[in-house]
C-alpha cells in the first residue's frame, strides 16, 4: 500500500507515547493523508539553524560531516530513515548527527533520543550525537524574510551509544502500527480528547444507549465537574483579592517571592471584523470546532 508519508524517526515518539505534540491518531492521518501542518516560527528557526549547528559541530569536535541520505529500514518499504547528517568518528566509523535548536518554548526530550536511535539502527551506526543550540531568540523576528535576532546561545553535543534493544522495540512498534492500522485503514484508539473529532469529524445524528459502566463513568465525571465548579468559584474570590491588592502595579511580591504580575496586550475583535468584512472572515475562519457538554 502506498503511503503519503512512510514511518520514520520523527514518528517514534508518538509510537512510544512520549511525544507531547503528536499522537498515534495524528501519525495515522499523516501517513495516509498527509499533514496540514505548514510550519511555525519555531520550525522555521530550526531549519535555518540546522546547518549552523552542523558546521559548529564539525569545527569544535574536529569531525568531518556529511549530509544525511534517505534510506529504507531493513526490508520494509513503509519504514524510512532520514538523518540530518552523518560524521566520521575517531575509529573511522560512520555515525549519526541530529541537529536541534531549543529555547524558552522548546525543549530537548526523549523523543529526540528515540529519533537518534532509529537512525543509528537504520544506518547500523554504533555511535550518534545530538548537537543542539540552547538559545534565547526574539521570536517576533523569526520569519523567512527577516534575519534571526538571537543572543546568549550555547552549543551542546550529547553523544550516545547504539541501543539495539530500543531500536528493535521501535521497529516492532512500527511494523505493528502498519499492519494493524495503516494497512487495513483502522484508526488506533484515541489517546487524548483532541483525537476524538479527528476520528469522528461529523455526527451521524443517531442516539445510542449507554451500558451501566459508562453511566457510572458519567456520574463520576459529573461529580468531578461539580467540585471543579465549586473550587473555581473559590479561586475567583482569591484572584479578586490579589488583583485588588496589585492595583495598577506591575508585580506583587512577598519577601522576594513573586505572587502576581500584570501584563497587557492588544486583543482582536473577531465579531466586529466578521460584521464589517464578511468575505474576508469567511475566507480566513478556522475549521469546525466540536464541543462535548
Residue 293 has pLDDT above 60, yes or no: no
Gap between the Cα atoms of 293 and 203, Å rounded? 15
Query: Among candidates 151, 171, 163, 83, which has minimal Cα distance to 127?
Result: 163
Check residue 35 and give its pLDDT: 84
- Give the global pTM: 0.74
Q: To 5 degrees, how large is the angle CA 12–CA 15–CA 18?
A: 80
Residue 144 has pLDDT above 50, yes or no: no
- C-alpha dihedral (187, 191, 192, 194), degrees to nearest 10: -10
The region of weakest confidence among 35-39, 237-241, 247-251, 288-292 is 288-292
Gap between the Cα atoms of 148 and 48, Å rounded? 9
Check residue 285 and give its pLDDT: 66
Residue 283 has pLDDT above 80, yes or no: no
Q: pLDDT band for position 146 (50/70/90)? A: very low
Gap between the Cα atoms of 71 and 81, Å rounded? 5
Question: pLDDT tens digits, residue range 271-281?
Answer: 787 888 888 87
Q: To 5 degrees, how large is the angle CA 266–CA 268–CA 269?
A: 130
Check residue 149 and give its pLDDT: 42
Instruction: Say if residues 115 and 10 touch (Cβ distance below 8 Å).
Output: yes
H or E element at residue 164: helix 164-177
Q: pLDDT band for position 91 (50/70/90)? A: very high
In 10 A of CB 196, how many CB atoms?
13
Residue 105 has pLDDT above 50, yes or no: no
Average pLDDT of every residue of the chain: 86
Check residue 292 and give its pLDDT: 39
In 10 A of CB 191, how many CB atoms?
13
Question: pLDDT tens digits, residue range 147-185?
Answer: 434 445 678 899 999 999 999 999 999 999 999 999 999
Check residue 2 and give its pLDDT: 79
Instruction: Say if residues 120 and 128 touch (Cβ distance below 8 Å).
Output: yes
Query: Among candidates 211, 247, 175, which has minimal Cα distance to 7?
Result: 175
Instruction: Say if residues 44 and 142 touch (Cβ distance below 8 Å).
Output: yes
Question: pLDDT tens digits, residue range 236-247?
Answer: 999 999 999 999
Q: pLDDT band for position 59 (50/70/90)? A: very high
Work out the percent of the chain whose per-residue pLDDT is above 70. 87
What are the phi and psi torsion angles at 195 (to 5°)?
Answer: -70, -30
Gap between the Cα atoms of 112 and 118, Å rounded? 10
Q: Where are the domains of the chain?
A: 9-196, 212-284
CATH of domain 9-196: 3.90.320.10
**144's grid cell:** 523567512
Amino acid at each position: 500500500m502506498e503511503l503519503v508519508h512512510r514511518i520514520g524517526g520523527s514518528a517514534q515518539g508518538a509510537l512510544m507515547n512520549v511525544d507531547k505534540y503528536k499522537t498515534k491518531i495524528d501519525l495515522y492521518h499523516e501517513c495516509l493523508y498527509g499533514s496540514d501542518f505548514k510550519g511555525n516560527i519555531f520550525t522555521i528557526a530550526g531549519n535555518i539553524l540546522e546547518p549552523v549547528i552542523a558546521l559548529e559541530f564539525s569545527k569544535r569536535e574536529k569531525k568531518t560531516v556529511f549530509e544525511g541520505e534517505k534510506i529504507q529500514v531493513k526490508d520494509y518499504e513503509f519504514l524510512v530513515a532520514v538523518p540530518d547528517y552523518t560524521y566520521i568518528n575517531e575509529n573511522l566509523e560512520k555515525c549519526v548527527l541530529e541537529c536541534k535548536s531549543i529555547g524558552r518554548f522548546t525543549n530537548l526530550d526523549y523523543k529526540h533520543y528515540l529519533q537518534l536511535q532509529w537512525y543509528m539502527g537504520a544506518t547500523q551506526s554504533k555511535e550518534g550525537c545530538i548537537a543542539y543550540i540552547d538559545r534565547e531568540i526574539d521570536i517576533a523576528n523569526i520569519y523567512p524574510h527577516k534575519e534571526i535576532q538571537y543572543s546568549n546561545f550555547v552549543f551542546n553535543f550529547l553523544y550516545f551509544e547504539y541501543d539495539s534493544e530500543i531500536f528493535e522495540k521501535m521497529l516492532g512498534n512500527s511494523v505493528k502500527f502498519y499492519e494493524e492500522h495503516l494497512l487495513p485503514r483502522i484508526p488506533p484508539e484515541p489517546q487524548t480528547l483532541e483525537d476524538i473529532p479527528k476520528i469522528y469529524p461529523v455526527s451521524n445524528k443517531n442516539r445510542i444507549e449507554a451500558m451501566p459502566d459508562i453511566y457510572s463513568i458519567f456520574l463520576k465525571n459529573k461529580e468531578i465537574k461539580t467540585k471543579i465548579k465549586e473550587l473555581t468559584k473559590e479561586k475567583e474570590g482569591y484572584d479578586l483579592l490579589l488583583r485588588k491588592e496589585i492595583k495598577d502595579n506591575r508585580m506583587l511580591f512577598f519577601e522576594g517571592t513573586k505572587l502576581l504580575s500584570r501584563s497587557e496586550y492588544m486583543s482582536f475583535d473577531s465579531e466586529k471584523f466578521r460584521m464589517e468584512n464578511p468575505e474576508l472572515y469567511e475566507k480566513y475562519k478556522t475549521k469546525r470546532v466540536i464541543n462535548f457538554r
